[in-house]
């Protein structure tokens, strides 16, 4: 007997999560003899809990094809966290009822660390209740902080967007012959992968990257930061520094928490380090100081998506269907790198328990000894993922 399938998007958007949806939809359609209806949940797990499902096979084919270039999350998401079943299993029971109601035998969850944790608990609950529903996670995150995978779909596109944007910003900072210090804040709650990408853009041509980067893996020292900026400014008459939103000081305190105290802005939260740093710099420098937050476009800018990222995200969606039909459950689609040049990945699978163990910080081998730069090894890692980058004139007159 055919079983139906359900696809759920969860967590924060990326530029290519809809490409994974495309992969799932096309793979399920190709397996119509084994899979009945493919449903999609509106707004993630909330849609499943509320029985708010869509028959994805009724959507126009030409619109499905456009998912490959559609930003953010076409089926919506949510930030809802189900209570642990050992405390209150009401949500899990509701999920079970709705899965049975729609004869769902294949559940595809497309998300990051929060999704991995939720999928692990849900798979355990379904197994304990004798439900033969295959649970497969398709990874995605712009932060690249998922364990047991070379890189997560979503990160290459964000890295590419940030690299290009920072390179363009670097050009802008050279337009005037007056002193200027610019702080650019990028995403990266627990890891410095995105900030590192901005610096990697300058490895081949230092004029196109930032002068300094600050990542969560290296404790932030205010005095050293001011000294770093002063050194660069004395040499160039300007300085461009990139800081990840999750940077903490030596006591473990987030920089955005300093913003709340020192800048007296109680509305700031994660992602609000820029006001504090610009406030700090203006106290120590008389030149113009600018703060720039790259904002949400980092995670949903499909116009600058990496072609490699789109292709891999699509393939991960297809792979999820293949392994579920082969009988796998409680697993995450993954890949390991075989070679950098030529770039080649090997498809793998990893159990949810291993994948959900924790974050994936930027390795020490990718961070320069001074703590505010990256090593050439990081460029070897990143360059195959981001695609061809724009080329700029090098007149050497400014």
Catalytic hit among 62, 88, 123, 143: 143
Please say if 143 is a catalytic residue. Answer: yes
> Looking at domain 158-301+363-386, does it have CATH number 3.40.50.460?
yes
Nearest to 7 by CA among 15, 89, 20: 20
What residues contact residue 374 under an 8 Å CB cut-off, 6+ apart?
A: 196, 199, 200, 203, 213, 366, 367, 368
Q: Over the stretch 141-182, which tens digit does the pLDDT of each residue have?
A: 999 999 999 999 999 999 999 999 999 999 999 998 999 999
The first and second tokens of residue 294, run together, are 């790259």
Peptide bond into 342 cis (omega under 30): yes
Structure confidence at residue 207 (pLDDT): 65
Q: Do domains 3-153+302-355 and 158-301+363-386 have the same CATH topology?
A: yes
Helices (H), 129-221: 155-173, 193-200
More confident residue, 326 or 82: 326
Structure confidence at residue 71 (pLDDT): 93
Q: Over the stretch 5-53, which tens digit does the pLDDT of each residue have?
A: 999 999 999 999 999 999 999 999 999 999 999 999 999 999 999 999 9
pTM greater than the 0.75 cutoff = yes
Report whether pLDDT(275) > 60: yes
Each domain of the chain, given as residue ranges in start order, spans: 3-153+302-355, 158-301+363-386
Structure confidence at residue 256 (pLDDT): 81
CATH of the domain spanning 3-153+302-355, picked from 3.30.930.10, 3.40.50.450, 3.40.50.1820, 1.25.40.20: 3.40.50.450
Report whether pLDDT(269) > 60: no
Question: Does residue 309 sit in helix, strand or coil?
Answer: helix
Cα separation, 78 vs 48, whole angstroms:
11
Structure confidence at residue 237 (pLDDT): 95
DSSP 218: S
More confident residue, 310 or 86: 310
Residues 278 and 291: beta-carbon distance below 8 Å = yes
Report whether pLDDT(296) > 50: yes
- What mean pLDDT comes out for the span 197-209? 72
- What mean pLDDT comes out for the span 107-123? 96
Structure confidence at residue 266 (pLDDT): 44
């Amino acid at each position: 007997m055919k079983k139906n399938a359900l696809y759920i998007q969860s967590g924060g958007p990326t530029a290519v999560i809809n490409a994974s949806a495309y992969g799932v939809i096309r793979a399920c359609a190709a397996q119509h003899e084994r899979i009945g209806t493919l449903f999609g949940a509106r707004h993630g797990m909330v849609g499943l809990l509320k029985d708010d499902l869509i028959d994805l096979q009724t959507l126009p084919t030409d619109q499905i094809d456009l998912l490959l270039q559609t930003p953010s999350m076409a089926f919506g998401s949510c930030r809802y966290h189900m209570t642990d079943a050992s405390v209150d299993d009401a949500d899990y029971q509701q999920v079970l009822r709705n899965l049975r109601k729609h004869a769902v035998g294949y559940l595809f969850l497309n998300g990051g660390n929060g999704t991995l944790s939720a999928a692990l608990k849900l798979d355990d609950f379904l197994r304990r209740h004798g439900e033969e529903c295959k649970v497969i996670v398709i990874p995605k995150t712009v932060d690249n902080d998922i364990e047991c995978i070379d890189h997560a779909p979503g990160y290459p596109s964000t890295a590419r967007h940030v690299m290009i944007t920072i390179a363009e910003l670097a050009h802008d900072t050279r337009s005037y012959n007056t002193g200027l210090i610019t702080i650019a804040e990028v995403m990266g709650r627990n890891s410095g992968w995105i900030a590192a990408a901005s610096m990697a853009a300058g490895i081949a041509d230092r004029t196109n990257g930032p002068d300094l980067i600050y990542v969560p893996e290296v404790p932030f020292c205010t005095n050293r930061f001011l000294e770093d900026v002063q050194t660069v400014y004395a040499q160039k008459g300007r300085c461009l520094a990139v800081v990840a939103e999750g940077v903490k000081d030596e006591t473990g305190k987030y920089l955005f928490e300093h913003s709340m105290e020192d800048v007296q802005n109680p509305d700031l939260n994660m992602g609000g380090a820029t006001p504090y740093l610009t406030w700090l710099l203006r106290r120590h420098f008389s030149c113009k100081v600018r703060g720039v937050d790259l904002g949400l476009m980092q995670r949903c800018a499909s116009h600058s998506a990496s072609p490699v990222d789109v292709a891999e995200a699509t393939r991960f969606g297809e792979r999820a269907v293949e392994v579920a039909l082969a009988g796998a459950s409680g697993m995450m689609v993954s890949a390991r790198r075989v070679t950098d040049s030529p770039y080649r990945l090997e498809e793998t699978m990893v159990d949810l328990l291993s994948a959900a163990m924790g974050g994936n910080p930027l390795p020490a081998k990718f961070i320069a000894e001074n703590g505010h730069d990256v090593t050439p090894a990081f460029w070897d890692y990143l360059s195959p993922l981001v695609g061809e980058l724009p080329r700029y004139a090098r007149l050497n007159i400014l």
